[in-house]
Chains A and B, each alone.
Chain A
Amino acid sequence: MYSENLNETEDENLWNQLRNGSVKALDIIYQQNYQVLFSFGYKLIPDKEIVKDGIQELFANLWNKHAGLSQVKKIRAYLLKALFNALIKQKQLNGLQEILPDYDDYKYLAIFSTEHLLIEQEKNEERLRKLKEGIKQLSKREKEIIFLFYYEGYSYKQIEKQTGLKYQSIKNLMYRALQRLKGFIYILAFLILHLII
């Protein structure tokens, strides 16, 4: 009942084609993942140009080293982690980050980062405070599921497997989490407007 277009065998096939030097596979991987990577990267470092360059470099590296790539089950998860490491390194080089955080500890927090809001919207402290409160109310489980589903592109079936939860409880958790974030749309609408411009 839900599309399974990011399932593991598909990913494994595509990845193997890339390892064999298929430009087309790389092209597809790029298009299937770009916006999620950008979104994730921008929440880590709210600077469009840095994130764009980071993704550019990530794909250039994939291409240059395609023959030496190891096997991957979930392409998007792999790319998110690779981008994370590259961007954090950059942050460290710029003296903004002292220690290298671990991806697995940090990833759920990253997508709920409000740092980008701070930079874009200094005058709306009240709104920012509200958003932060909403995010604080999310449980770790809720954050994890949102990350798996929206960012890593896991299907419900795969999330069931990963978390041991049933389909209905996953949906319920997700609804509740989204409900909590609901009041804050306007902040992001504002932000998106800024981004477009």
Chain B
Amino acid sequence: MDYKNFDIEDFITEQSFINYYLGTNLTDIEFWEEWVKRNPDKSELIIEAKSRLDDIFIKLPDNEYEEEYSRFQKSIGITNSAPTKINPVVRKMPGWWSLNKVAAVVAFLVVCSLLYFTRNVQDSGKNLAEAELSEPKIIEKFARRGQKNTIVLKDGSKIKLNSGSKIEFPENFGEKTREVFLEGEAFFDVEHDATRPFIVNSGGVRTKVLGTSFNIKNSKTHNKVEVALVTGKVEVFQQVSQEKITLAPHELLEVNSETNRVVKRNFEPGNELGWKDGIIQFKEAKLNEIEEVLESWYDIEIQFKQIPHNKGFTGEFDNESLETVLQGLSYAIGFKFKLEGNKVTIY
């Protein structure tokens, strides 16, 4: 079947896709994971299809599922720690064929590795030189002001870039690490790979993870980098002070890039990460913060003819138009505004 012409409705009514989404059938999981990797242009469609399925299902998060699964295994006395993979038992494949296939694959691998090994021995010096000469190609992705952008990396990790942010990463990750460079704010959902840590470099702070989801915000106007962890575990290195801090879920680390001061606190994910669902949140926000957020979110310029008195605004706007947001703010803070094209005048 040609899934390339599939529309969102086609995906969410396709049984194998649902099995992949639910994680209930290994064959389907493998098929779709491969398909998603091969069709990076479809990644946004796939993400949207999955979120449409979230209308119908409420899944238990992966980490909790793993806990439940090992509890189940213990309760029935399965002692091996490695999970038995979902195995389509019913697949009837004549024994000789699968044996033959295995043998063929093994033979192929042996030949390949022999070839590789002998070649390597012969011209290992030359290879090294070549490897050093060929610079890895760096890819840059942006979310322009007024936009957000979701990127799926080759390893399956997802990055949602907030407005006015940029991320750089090599076309192919190295063998030891997966490094990316961030300016601005992004939410990361990192595919687990114990052999290759995922490292985000941002404003002199290195955040290292194996597989987890977290948010990083690097604000130049506030001279600070914030790392907020949702699930899993991350290690944060402050490069100047060489300090290393481990975060647990719900913990947020604030690094001041001027003073190098580091503060760890708990956070309310509903409050800090709303941006990725289109929710603008303010918590006792001063005017300059409101200005910065709105300018980037809606791609506008705000001019103050008069500075309104604002003690700190708290509130949220869920997928609202600029006009609605301005109206809400103008009532709450007490100002008048004029909206012309992408220019807003406050008076």
Give me the interface of A with B, judged by CB distance under 8 Å: 1-3, 5-6, 9-10, 13-14, 17, 23-28, 30-36, 38-39, 42-43, 48, 52, 55-56, 59-60, 63, 111, 116, 146, 149-150, 153, 155-156, 171, 174-175, 178, 181-182, 184-186, 188-197
Interface hits, B80-114 → A, CB 8 Å = 84, 86-90
**A39 interface neighbour in B13, B58, B69, B250, Cβ under 8 Å:** B58
Give me the interface of B with A, judged by CB distance under 8 Å: 1, 9, 12-16, 18-19, 22-25, 27-28, 51-52, 54-61, 64-65, 68-69, 71-73, 75-78, 84, 86-90, 213, 230-231, 249-250, 269-270, 273, 277-278, 318-319
Contact A38 to B59, CB < 8 A, known contacts A2-B16, A10-B90 = yes
A104 smallest CB distance to B (angstroms): 20
- Asked whether B18 lies within 8 Å of A150 as measured between CB atoms, the reply is yes
Pairs across A and B, CB under 8 Å, 13 listed? A5-B28, A6-B15, A28-B86, A38-B58, A56-B71, A56-B72, A116-B58, A156-B15, A175-B9, A188-B55, A189-B51, A189-B54, A196-B213
**B65 interface neighbour in A5, A34, A184, Cβ under 8 Å:** A34
Select from chain B the residue with minimum beta-carbon distance to A6: B15
- Asked whether B16 lies within 8 Å of A3 as measured between CB atoms, the reply is yes
Q: Give A13 to B91 CA distance when docked, in angstroms.
A: 11
Contacts of B84 in A (CB 8 A): 24, 27-28
For the complex with contacts A35-B60, A39-B56, A39-B57, 19 further pairs of A-B residues with Cβ separation under 8 Å are A2-B16, A9-B90, A13-B90, A17-B89, A27-B78, A27-B84, A30-B72, A43-B58, A116-B58, A156-B15, A174-B13, A181-B56, A185-B52, A186-B319, A189-B277, A190-B270, A190-B277, A196-B269, A197-B250
- Asked whether A34 lies within 8 Å of B87 as measured between CB atoms, the reply is no
Contacts of B72 in A (CB 8 A): 30, 56, 59
Contacts of B318 in A (CB 8 A): 186
Q: Give A182 to B86 CA distance when docked, in angstroms.
A: 32
Contacts of A178 in B (CB 8 A): 9, 12-13, 52, 55
Contacts of B12 in A (CB 8 A): 178
Contacts of B15 in A (CB 8 A): 2-3, 5-6, 149, 153, 155-156
Contacts of B273 in A (CB 8 A): 193
SS of A interface (majority)? helix
Contact A150 to B56, CB < 8 A, known contacts A5-B25, A34-B68, A55-B68 = yes
Contacts of B249 in A (CB 8 A): 197
Q: Give A38 to B250 CA distance when docked, in angstroms.
A: 24
Contact A194 to B58, CB < 8 A, known contacts A14-B90, A31-B24, A33-B24 = no
Q: Give A71 to B4 CA distance when docked, in angstroms.
A: 41
B14 smallest CB distance to A (angstroms): 7
A-B residue pairs, 7 tightest by C-beta:
A39-B57, A3-B16, A10-B90, A35-B22, A31-B86, A38-B60, A197-B269
**A182 interface neighbour in B14, B18, B52, B277, Cβ under 8 Å:** B52
Contacts of A111 in B (CB 8 A): 56
Select from chain B the residue with minimum beta-carbon distance to A175: B9
Contacts of A149 in B (CB 8 A): 13, 15
Contacts of A185 in B (CB 8 A): 51-52, 54-55
- Asked whether B13 lies within 8 Å of A5 as measured between CB atoms, the reply is no
Select from chain A the residue with minimum beta-carbon distance to B65: A34
Q: Give A26 to B59 CA distance when docked, in angstroms.
A: 21
B267 smallest CB distance to A (angstroms): 10
Q: Give A26 to B18 CA distance when docked, in angstroms.
A: 22
B132 smallest CB distance to A (angstroms): 43
Select from chain A the residue with minimum beta-carbon distance to B23: A35
Contacts of B77 in A (CB 8 A): 23
Q: Give A116 to B250 CA distance when docked, in angstroms.
A: 22
Select from chain A the residue with minimum beta-carbon distance to B63: A196
Contact A36 to B75, CB < 8 A, known contacts A3-B16, A3-B28 = no
Contacts of B76 in A (CB 8 A): 23, 26, 59-60, 63
- Asked whether B250 lies within 8 Å of A3 as measured between CB atoms, the reply is no
Q: Give A1 to B6 CA distance when docked, in angstroms.
A: 14
Select from chain B the residue with minimum beta-carbon distance to A11: B90
Contacts of B68 in A (CB 8 A): 34, 52, 55-56
- Asked whether B24 lies within 8 Å of A35 as measured between CB atoms, the reply is yes
- Asked whether B78 lies within 8 Å of A23 as measured between CB atoms, the reply is yes
Contacts of B90 in A (CB 8 A): 9-10, 13-14
Select from chain B the residue with minimum beta-carbon distance to A156: B15
**B55 interface neighbour in A23, A175, A184, Cβ under 8 Å:** A184
Contacts of B277 in A (CB 8 A): 186, 189-190, 193
